Structures are given as C-alpha cells and as structure tokens.
Amino acid sequence: MTITLRQGRAEDLNAIVGLEQIAFAGDRFSRRQLWHLLNRAHALTLVAENERGELLGYGLLLFRRGSPRVRLYSFCVHPEARGAGIGRRLLEALEAVALERGAACLSLEVRADNRVALRLYRRLGYRLSRWLDDYYADGCAGWQMEKALTEPCGEQVV
C-alpha cells in the first residue's frame, strides 16, 4: 500500500468527518468545528491517503501566535489501517511542520485507556506531563504529553 501525506484541504471535510465517526466512539468534532479548523483557524491539517485517494488518517496542529508551543489537537488513523506505520509517519511529519514554523514544544492529550496511542507517543519521545482527571465526555481520564522539539518543555512526570 502506498501512502501519501499532504496538507488537508476544504474538500477533505467529508472524509475527515467520516474518519472521526469511524475512529472515535465519542468526543468527536462536529462538522462545523472541523470546517473551521480546516479553513479559518490558526491550524494545519495533514492527511494520509492511499493510492485510491481514500483518507486513512489525519492530524491537526493548533498554533498560538507568538508562542513556541504547538498543540496536536486531533489525530486519528482509520481502524483498518492501524499497525501499518501510518500514525508514526503522520506524527513525524506534523513534528517537522511544527519545527519548520518555529515550534519548540509539541503537546497533546490522550485517553488514559488508549494504550496503543500512549505506546506510539512514548516511542516517539513524548513524556507524560500532567494527569487530567475526568477529561473526556464519558468520564475517562487523560494524560497531557509533551515533546521538546528544540528545548525542554518543562518537568517530566514519568
């Protein structure tokens, strides 16, 4: 399978909404929120697609003007495409974009029960920085994780 990474476009909205529906049981973005993030926000979306143009994953970075910190705001890979290295490639590409734009640190939040994602993030150098009690809509806790791209982000918990 050939995977291409590219910047997300307005015409990817339907595919991203569909991917969110398949990949997440809850805490999904609405169509309106995704439209705004793709078109108006100080954000960048990268998508992973196969040779047929089907979206297999996406990641969305939020930038704060004047801040060296960038937030990975949403990240998912189609359940049927997991384990093929798409998540790793997508995350590494997002890190490179953040670095190119002057970011020193990348942070994210992840469900405490998402062992696969936690393992990926830790393998790529992310460190647990803060426990987030009752963070998700269903009451699940989360972890905030950080990775220094050019300088330390702060204290490491674990």
Domains, the chain, with CATH or none? 4-108 (3.40.630.30)
pTM value > 0.75 = yes
Residue 5: half-sphere exposure toward Cβ, Cα within 13 Å: 19
CA angle 21, 89, 85 (to 5 degrees): 75
Minimal CA–CA distance to 149: which of 107, 105, 88? 105
- pLDDT tier, 40 (very low <50, low <70, confident <90, very high otherwise): confident
Q: What is the average pLDDT value for the chain, to the nearest integer?
A: 92
Which pLDDT score is estimated for 154?
55
Cα end-to-end span (Å), the chain? 36
Residue 89: half-sphere exposure toward Cβ, Cα within 13 Å: 18
Share of the chain above pLDDT 90, in %: 83
Which pLDDT score is estimated for 51?
95
Inter-residue contact 131 to 111 (CB < 8 Å): no
Which pLDDT score is estimated for 25?
79
